[in-house]
Every structure is written in C-alpha cells, then in structure tokens.
Amino acid sequence: MVLNYIWIAFFLIAFAIAVVRLVVFGDVEVFPAIMDSTFASAKTAFEISLGLTGVLSLWLGVMKIGERGGLVALLARGLSPVFTKLFPEIPKGHPVVGNIFMNLAANMLGLDNAATPLGLKAMEGLQELNPKKDTASNAMIMFLVLNTSGLTVIPVSILVYRAQMGAAQPTDVFIPILLATFFSTLAGIIATSLYQRINLLNRVLLLTLGGVSLAVAGIMWGFSQLSREDMATVASTVANVVLFTIVVGFILAGVRKKVNVYDAFIEGAKDGFSTAVRIIPYLVAILVGIGVFRASGAMDWLVDGIAWLVGLTGADAEWVGALPTALMKPLSGSGARGMMVDAMATYGADSFVGRLSCIFQGATDTTFYILAVYFGSVGVRYTRHAVACWPTWPVWWPPWLFVISSSDRDKNSRTGDGSGAA
C-alpha cells in the first residue's frame, strides 16, 4: 500500500511542477521531456530485466547446486541460533536461512549483481512460509530491512569508480561507508524488532552483535595498516576470491553427494529466467515513476530548496552538492551512480562533495527499487511496515560522516585539490 502512495506521489508532484514550469516560466520543453522519460524508463526497465536474466540464471543455478549438495542446509543449521531470534517465523534449520545469508554476504562484499538473484531466491523461500500470500510477513520485512540497510565490508564498485575518476586516494571512503552501513544495519534491526516485538536483549543476539562489532573494528584496523594502493587491491581480490570459492565449494559439495551438478545448474537457471520475466512489470512501474519525477525538475527543486533553507541558517551548505546522490539512491541505483560520477567530475574526486557523494552511494541501497522488485517477484501487494523500518538517511546516518569528510575538505582547501574537474 505504501508503494502505491509513493508511486502516485511521483506523478502528481511531477505534474504540478511541470504545470508551474510551463505556465509561470514558459518552459515548453518540460512536458515533452516527461513523456520522453516515460518511454526511456520503460525501455530501461526491460533492458535491466534482460541483463538480469543471465545473472539470475547463473546464481540461481549455483544455488540449486548448493541445495542439492547440502551446503545450504548445513549453513542454515549453523545460523539457526541467531536467525531463529531475528526470524521467529522461520522453522529451525530451514534452507531459506542459507539463502538469506548468501544474499547478505554478497552485499557485504559489494557484489550487487550476485546479491539480487540470491535475494530473490530468499524471497521465494520466505513466500512459501507466508500464510497470507498477498501480504508481507514479518520475516520478509526483517530480511528486506537487513538487505536495504546494506552492511558493506568491501565497497568494491565505489573504489573502482573513484580510481577511474582520478582520485588520489580511491579507498579513503572505505571506513566511512563501513561505519555508516554498520550503524544503519543496527538501526534497521532495532526499528524492525520494535515493530515485531522481538526481544533483542538475549544472550545469542548480544553475543552476535558484539562479535560483528569486533569484526568490523578488526577490518577497519587491518585496512588502516595498508597503503591506499594495497587497500584497493586487497579489497577487490578478497571479494572475488571469496565469491568464487563459494561457487567451487558448492560444486565440490555436489560432487561429494554424487549429484548431477550440470543438471542441477540447468534446473536452477530455468528458475532464474522465469523470475527475470516476472519482475518486468514491477521494474517498469517503479522506473517510470522515478523517471517522471526527475524529468519534471522535482529533484532539482528539492535540492535547491534545501540549499536555500540551509543558507538561511548561515550554516555551511557545501554538502548540498552531494545531496542529489543521496536523494536518488533510494530510487534508482543507476541514477545515483550517475549523480556520484557527475559530482566527482564537477567538484573533483578528492573534494569534499566528491567524497561525500561516494559515501552516500555506498552507504544505502535502492530501497524502493528493491521493495518493488522483491515483493513483486512473489506477488506481495501489502508491504505493512517495510518502508517505516527502513533506516533512511539522514535520520540514521551518523553525523561523524560529515566530520570525517570535513577533515578531508579542510586538507584539500589548504592544498588546492578538488577545486575543479577531475
């Protein structure tokens, strides 16, 4: 139901602003731009789904091998003590626990292409346990909150983009992104637990969260000992080694169980193809709504309005230059990526705005896109408190993010870096 209101708002706000631009400012190009955007967005939605077909087929095929080989079930049993507390609706040792963990692991490694099919597979498993097929279950909501909060241990794609844009220190956003996603994940767990009346003050969860906190601190310390060149190399290598090791492990497990690995892969790949086709209408709906909102100028007006309000207070409004990335990321991953690259090109990859745009890009996920696709893939219409529990920026993003980036800004202002295009 919430997505229904959001989708309607996209069109109504876009129409109102377009009328003002036409009548008041004489902008005769606004309505043609909006209509062009609807067709372009619909085409983009189909192209995304077409691109997902191969990726979905690949990873659902690999997951099928893991299921037949018994590794997914083994993983589910190992995680049961924790997941039965966060997901009390899921039976102990159920295979869907393994699918959920694989999705979260892919997100942690910054591998979006792998995370999406694994997440859709997890949603299918959760839907099988859902007594009301058109309504989101508590387990679905908790899973999507964990998914969209986006704990990222190694933000591979962000580091690559910064290197391509000529950043002197491509990895300098690593720690802010890690901290931001860690705290947003904690916030999401707490918010969802309050809604669902899950008791977090138990030994298992406290030990787990404490262990994760120590692990995050250890990763931060370890990477802080590396040079920026070594950090980028280690981040990319570790992420891809871990992922390919999982693939090989699944295959070896299948061989050990005397499974016909090839046939299992083909069976899973067929599911991937059907899933990609099934999500096309939902992709078209959400991307067209976002495209109309952008083409009308609503996003620009929103950013300019915030900058004006900040200016009235006398506060430093330089961070507003990174705001388009933050506002776009919950709506469109590709749109936010374009905003991030534009910010680095305009202000400099090593500028305050350039760094902050990268942090915004890496510190959250495409929430509304994920809600539409994931719920749409299993036919869920009523999302309940899924949106309310999402740890939205700027409410949950720690203020020290700006402190970290501000120190870089001050350094750049002294050296003259980041004042122009990269």
pLDDT at 28: 93
Contact 327, 302 (CB under 8 A): yes
> What is the residue type of 119?
G
Rounded CA separation 180/184 (Å): 6
- Look up residue 336 and give its two tokens: 């936010």
Given a cut of 50, whether residue 312 has pLDDT beyond it is yes
Question: In 10 A of CB 336, how many CB atoms?
Answer: 23
Which residues are within 8 A (CB) of 378 and not within 5 positions of it... i.e. 6 or more apart? 123, 124, 126, 127, 130, 133
- Look up residue 353 and give its two tokens: 């705005």
Contact 415, 169 (CB under 8 A): no
Listed range (93-97, 275-279, 384-388) with the worst mean pLDDT: 275-279
- Of residues 117 and 23, more confidence is placed in 23
Rounded CA separation 329/313 (Å): 27
- Percent of the chain surpassing pLDDT 90: 15
Q: How confident is the model at residue 341 (pLDDT cuts 50, 70, 90)?
A: confident
**DSSP 3-state percent helix, strand, coil across the chain (nearest 5):** 75, 0, 25
Listed range (11-20, 308-317, 370-379) with the worst mean pLDDT: 308-317
3-class secondary structure, 172: coil
By residue count, the chain amounts to: 422
pLDDT mean over 101-107: 79
The dihedral sign for the CA sequence 124, 126, 128, 133: negative
Given a cut of 60, whether residue 11 has pLDDT beyond it is yes
3-class secondary structure, 166: coil
pLDDT at 391: 54
- Look up residue 354 and give its two tokens: 């350039």
> What is the residue type of 158?
I
Segment 213-225, tens digit of pLDDT? 888 788 778 877 7
Strand partners, 135: 382
Contact 306, 320 (CB under 8 A): yes
pLDDT at 415: 40
Which range of 7-11, 59-63, 153-157 scores highest in mean pLDDT? It is 7-11
Cα distances (Å, whole numbers) of residue 367 to 147, 275, 373? 9, 19, 10
Rounded CA separation 392/364 (Å): 8
pLDDT at 393: 43
pLDDT at 401: 44
For residue 93, what is the DSSP state? T
Q: How confident is the model at residue 27 (pLDDT cuts 50, 70, 90)?
A: very high
pLDDT at 114: 67
Which residues are within 8 A (CB) of 85 and not within 5 positions of it... i.e. 6 or more apart? 198, 199, 202, 204, 205
pLDDT at 109: 65
Spell 120-157 as b/e; 16+ CB within 10 A means b: bbbbbbbbeebeeeeebbbbbbbbbbbbbbbbbbbbbb
- Of residues 352 and 219, more confidence is placed in 352
Segment 151-182, tens digit of pLDDT? 776 676 677 678 777 887 777 787 788 788 88
Given a cut of 80, whether residue 39 has pLDDT beyond it is yes
Q: Is 410 exposed, middle or buried (0-12, 13-18, 19+ CB in 10 A)?
A: exposed
pLDDT at 3: 66
pLDDT mean over 308-323: 81
pLDDT at 408: 44
Domain ranges of the chain: 2-415
List the one residue out of 52, 78, 76, 40 whose CA is nearest residue 292: 40
pLDDT at 286: 78
Cα distances (Å, whole numbers) of residue 173 to 67, 86, 333, 347? 37, 30, 18, 16
Given a cut of 60, whether residue 392 has pLDDT beyond it is no
Rounded CA separation 176/194 (Å): 27
